[in-house]
Structure 1
Amino acid sequence: MKAFASLVQLLGNATGTLEKLHALSHYFSTADPKDRVWVIAIFSGRRPKRTISTSQLKQWCIESTDLQEWLFEECYHTVGDLAETIGLLLPPTSSTTENLPLHYYIERLIQLQNEDEEQKKKFITQVWQELERDQLFVFNKLITGGFRIGVSQKMMVNALAKATKQDASLVAHKISGNWDPQIISFDQLLLHDHGNNDDSKPYPFYLAHALDGELHELGDPSEWQAEWKWDGIRGQIIKRNDTHYVWSRGEELMTDKFPEYLSFIDSIPDGTVLDGEIMPAKDGQPLPFSVLQTRIGRKTITKKQLVEAPIAFFAYDLLEWEGKDIRHVTTDERRALLEDLITSIQYQPNIFLSPSIRFNNWNELITARENAREKHAEGLMLKRKKGPYQVGRKTGDWWKWKIDPLTIDAVMIYAQKGHGRRSNLYTDYTFAVKNGDKLVSFTKAYSGLTDKEFAQVDAFVKNNSIEKFGPVRTVKPELVFEIAFEGIAASSRHKSGVALRFPRINRWRTDKKPDEINTLDDLKQLLAVYGK
């Protein structure tokens, strides 16, 4: 636990990527092998199921510190993170305890799932009395949520590659899939060639960089393939040994969530892996992302949902064919194989070939991009025809060229403190538009400003608060911001009647007054045009 707590502290305080990379690779080279596996699991989203509730932790901390509940809540609102709040409030340990490994605490937390509340409380409060403050924070984080320390999947893969002296693309493939950190060892996961033994194992996704230059800088248009950048869930469909698996880009196994795919899976030969988009569709035409949202997160799918939100798969790449990894094959060759496959099963209702866009010059592609939103697409994907399918986010062969966002001018009416390094600043805001002489809230946003601007808004909130509702402050409706978003949909859950897709602050409109903001009718007009 000490080694992991030191790692978390190093990563949290590191100012550069190389510093974080060195800390991670050193840990993966020296830590307890079983602990290494759990750290890979934690940093790649394979956290154990939570066994202790937030309310239980709060109550046990209040009892352990003899604090009044209101005082605990004030501390929590100030710190902004429950794990850190508890770690700061608990008295320092007065005894020296054995330095137990990280996996002991994780596995014990898993065992608590089958024990009653009294046993849970006994274990948690005992650990609180034994661990030092930096370890307390880490222990509490194991219970409450993820570590916001800026460790990406790519960084972890590079650190493991450095520690094990393997190619990063090979490491990325080895740590993908449906492995169990309670069972597999570090050597089995990374040092043994076990990849072919797991039929469910997906390939690491190839991710595109945003196009940051002019189109003509890409060279000859004939060297590029253009496709729609769909607004769905990136996924892989795997068919091996007469069993299929559906993985999301976030490496969530989602096979049971999309029973529609059973309609075509028998038509796909064994040894096939498709890369594509999980999307709602009717008669082969994509539907808005809001339709997909009605299916996300549901444990069981009803017949009504299958009818109202039918899900299809739009395939745009072929990664494995006849049981062989073909990622090294050029894009145009893989595309030809994919087209032949989809054509052979063209009468299946829930799988489609994601169409390529024909163009002879860059101006024609610019025109095509203007129609992206009508097709429920986010823009275009540009893929070099002679490029391979790579691992992670690489520059050069794949580019995403998104359409310009929709925007609306709004006034801030509520503010709440952020989390992590922003826990002492008001950085989470609620915005409103006009509806006659009233203001109607319609969205929240917490990104898009510089650190200097966040500090200025924070000062405004502290000096212009009207009411307090727990951690939320009502403020004078004076600051105007331009809110950008990717899509809009009707919503009965919101007072405004609309819900935005990926809202964020585009800019602070210091040049506008509150009476110049947009209206609810403006939002509804956008809904009528783009929310179909």
Structure 2
Amino acid sequence: MRRFTALYMRLDATTATKPKVAAMRDYFAQAPSADAAWAVSFLCGRRIKRLIAGPKLREWVAEAIDMPMWLVEESYAAVGDSAETMTLLLDEIGSSEAGLDLPLHEWVENRILPLKNLSETEQKARLFGYWRELPTEARFTLNKLLTGAFRVGVSRRLVTRALAEYAGIEPARLAHRLMGRWQPTPEFFERLVDPEDHGEDAAQPYPFFLASPIENAPIETIADLGPAGNWHAEWKWDGIRAQLIRRAGECHIWSRGEDLMEGRFPELEAAAAALPDGCVLDGEILAWAAGDSLPLPFARLQRRIGRLKPSANMQQKHPVRFFAYDLMEHEGVDIREQPLEDRRARLAEVLVGIDERIALSESLAAGSWDELAALRERSREFATEGFVLKRLGSPYRVGRVRGDWWKWKIDPFSVDAVLLYAQPGSGRRSSLLTDYTFAVWDGDALVPFAKAYSGLTDKEIRQVDAWIRKNTKERFGPVRSVTPQHVFELHFEGIQASNRHKSGIAVRFPRIARWRTDKPLEEADTLDNVKALLPPNEWAEPG
């Protein structure tokens, strides 16, 4: 725990990339494999499933230091981080360094994980002992692991870079090895950093190549990319980015979030049985009925996402298709370095005669950027979000590498709405009212329709916070209702009908675009205006 705590402190002490990479590289060079495996897991964002609820942990802290629970909760509200609050308060109890020399893997495997099977009385007794065995910094690290909030400002890409520097392996190879269903064992870490090639799991996906955004770009900026004929354009679908893997006679479907979606889309797995063995397709899962020319609303796909074993009735009501963008592996050979047009040609050959539930994503031919721009303006007619532009000749890279792939999205939906409720944010914003609920007019009444917490500058946040505190009408726990007065322009990516919301609608990815200090309350949008943004078939969704 001593070595891992020192790593955490080094990472937490800087925002610069090189020192973070150096800190991780130094750690991997010194740590035993059993510890390094768990460190990789935590640094890559994997969490221990929360074993004890945060309120219960704070309750035990209150008992350990003999402090009223209300004061502990007020401290938590002021600090905004449960692990940090607990650590600060626990400074009042005695500590030693008895637990520092216990390796990280023993802390996790023999102390933290076994808490799951203990009674609350035993859990509390164990934690009281653990807290007393560690000095402040190590106690903070332990609390971070217990609360599942182990964030240190490093991305998986930085972790990969540090491991690559330590092991002397190409970052792309290491990124591939970090994909899939590995467990943090010593054997895994040793294979991870072994310079020699070794057999991969037949279900192992590749790292995804992510397109970089072109934000609000005029056509002149797009033209800087060079002749339109040098680019492959395709629709940017609104579904689940996924890899469809056919290896060793089996099919595996992985989401971009590295979720193995086994059994969730059995119709796609059945269709994939006709694919040649040793191929990996990159594409998008969409809700799409047979014979339709357009995808169904995203809400239909949402019905399928959480179903581990969808019934035949569910599959019939909410059908799906896989639209393939790219071919990453062919006949068991990694072909990501081959030019895009060659991969697409092979992909088209692979999909000949395959069930229509697995289809080739359309290539959009255009003679000029002006033609593409005109087609992009019609994106919503085709139930898409715009284009993805891919440079001809480009390889399939790892992560978000700028230059070869761009997403050229249509402008978001925009609504002017009234601030109605507010509550404190989290983390460094826990002492400020930054999470807002907005409403639109329905006749003479204001009806809540969206929540947003991002988009304002720090200065604007402080101004809005001060105004809310002076104009609070009622309080409902942490939530405050305010006098309707201020109008904000909200942007969002999608809209759908919803029986769960009073307004009858739900929006996707709402954020604040600007504070409309120039607009009076009466000129905010109406609910009818918002409903007019719904796709024509949105209300016809089956149950």
Query: TM class by shorter-chain length?
Result: over 0.9
The 5 A counterparts of 1:41-440 are 41-90=41-90, 91-99=92-100, 100-107=102-109, 108-182=111-185, 184-191=187-194, 193=196, 195-211=198-214, 214-283=221-290, 285-345=294-354, 348-440=355-447
Alpha carbons of 1:63 and 1:428: their partners in 2 closer, same or farther (altered >3 Å)?
same
Asked whether the 8 Å contact 2:52–2:146 carries over to 1, the reply is: yes
Asked whether the 8 Å contact 2:49–2:148 carries over to 1, the reply is: no
The CA deviation at 1:124 is 2.2
Alpha carbons of 1:131 and 1:309: their partners in 2 closer, same or farther (altered >3 Å)?
farther
CA distance in structure 1 between the partners assigned to 2:135 and 2:438 by the alignment: 42
Alpha carbons of 1:377 and 1:9: their partners in 2 closer, same or farther (altered >3 Å)?
farther
SS of the equivalent of 2:236 reads strand
SS of the equivalent of 2:323 reads strand
Asked whether the 8 Å contact 1:14–1:20 carries over to 2, the reply is: yes
- The answer to which of 157-166 and 404-413 deviates more is 157-166
Aligned to 1:467: 474
Matched residue count: 530
SS of the equivalent of 1:505 reads strand
SS of the equivalent of 1:394 reads coil
Alpha carbons of 1:359 and 1:39: their partners in 2 closer, same or farther (altered >3 Å)?
same
- The answer to which of 421-430 and 497-506 deviates more is 421-430
Counterpart amino acid of residue 128 in structure 2:
T
The CA deviation at 1:489 is 0.3
| Superposed CA RMSD | 2.1
CA distance in structure 1 between the partners assigned to 2:130 and 2:396 by the alignment: 47
Aligned to 2:30: 30
Alpha carbons of 1:7 and 1:434: their partners in 2 closer, same or farther (altered >3 Å)?
farther
* TM-score, normalised via structure 2 length: 0.92
CA distance in structure 2 between the partners assigned to 1:178 and 1:121 by the alignment: 33
CA distance in structure 2 between the partners assigned to 1:418 and 1:384 by the alignment: 41
Asked whether the 8 Å contact 2:416–2:525 carries over to 1, the reply is: yes
SS of the equivalent of 2:288 reads strand
Asked whether the 8 Å contact 1:488–1:531 carries over to 2, the reply is: no
CA distance in structure 2 between the partners assigned to 1:124 and 1:299 by the alignment: 35
Alpha carbons of 1:292 and 1:466: their partners in 2 closer, same or farther (altered >3 Å)?
same
CA distance in structure 2 between the partners assigned to 1:54 and 1:133 by the alignment: 19
Partner deviation per Cα, 1:24-80 (whole Å, 9 max, x = no partner): 333333334322211221232433333223343233233323333333332222222
Asked whether the 8 Å contact 1:195–1:201 carries over to 2, the reply is: no
SS of the equivalent of 2:145 reads helix
CA distance in structure 2 between the partners assigned to 1:170 and 1:457 by the alignment: 48
Identity among equivalent pairs (%): 48
The CA deviation at 1:195 is 4.7
The CA deviation at 1:488 is 0.2
Counterpart amino acid of residue 394 in structure 1:
V
SS of the equivalent of 2:283 reads strand
The CA deviation at 1:264 is 0.9
SS of the equivalent of 1:410 reads strand
The CA deviation at 1:194 is 5.5
Alpha carbons of 1:123 and 1:154: their partners in 2 closer, same or farther (altered >3 Å)?
same
SS of the equivalent of 1:444 reads strand
Segments of 4+ moved more than 6 angstroms: none
The CA deviation at 1:387 is 1.0
Is 2:479 aligned against 1:477? no
Asked whether the 8 Å contact 1:92–1:132 carries over to 2, the reply is: no
CA distance in structure 2 between the partners assigned to 1:125 and 1:451 by the alignment: 39
- The answer to which of 66-75 and 174-183 deviates more is 66-75
SS of the equivalent of 1:392 reads coil
SS of the equivalent of 2:84 reads helix
- The answer to which of 288-297 and 327-336 deviates more is 288-297
CA distance in structure 2 between the partners assigned to 1:95 and 1:152 by the alignment: 33
Counterpart amino acid of residue 324 in structure 1:
V
Partner deviation per Cα, 1:460-507 (whole Å, 9 max, x = no partner): 233332333222222232222111001100111111111101111111
Which segments of 5 or more consecutive residues in structure 1 lack a partner in the other structure? none
CA distance in structure 2 between the partners assigned to 1:492 and 1:297 by the alignment: 18
Partner deviation per Cα, 1:195-235 (whole Å, 9 max, x = no partner): 52311111111111112552211112111110011111111
The CA deviation at 1:401 is 0.4
CA distance in structure 2 between the partners assigned to 1:456 and 1:8 by the alignment: 35
Counterpart amino acid of residue 414 in structure 2:
T
The CA deviation at 1:376 is 2.5
Alpha carbons of 1:14 and 1:92: their partners in 2 closer, same or farther (altered >3 Å)?
farther
Partner deviation per Cα, 1:423-453 (whole Å, 9 max, x = no partner): 2222211111122222211111111122222
Counterpart amino acid of residue 180 in structure 2:
G
Counterpart amino acid of residue 339 in structure 1:
A
Alpha carbons of 1:519 and 1:350: their partners in 2 closer, same or farther (altered >3 Å)?
same
Partner deviation per Cα, 1:225-250 (whole Å, 9 max, x = no partner): 10011111111111111122111111
Alpha carbons of 1:474 and 1:89: their partners in 2 closer, same or farther (altered >3 Å)?
farther
Asked whether the 8 Å contact 1:317–1:335 carries over to 2, the reply is: yes
Alpha carbons of 1:440 and 1:14: their partners in 2 closer, same or farther (altered >3 Å)?
same
SS of the equivalent of 1:507 reads strand
CA distance in structure 2 between the partners assigned to 1:235 and 1:335 by the alignment: 17
Asked whether the 8 Å contact 1:263–1:350 carries over to 2, the reply is: no
Asked whether the 8 Å contact 1:487–1:530 carries over to 2, the reply is: no
Which segments of 5 or more consecutive residues in structure 2 lack a partner in the other structure? none
Asked whether the 8 Å contact 1:445–1:504 carries over to 2, the reply is: yes
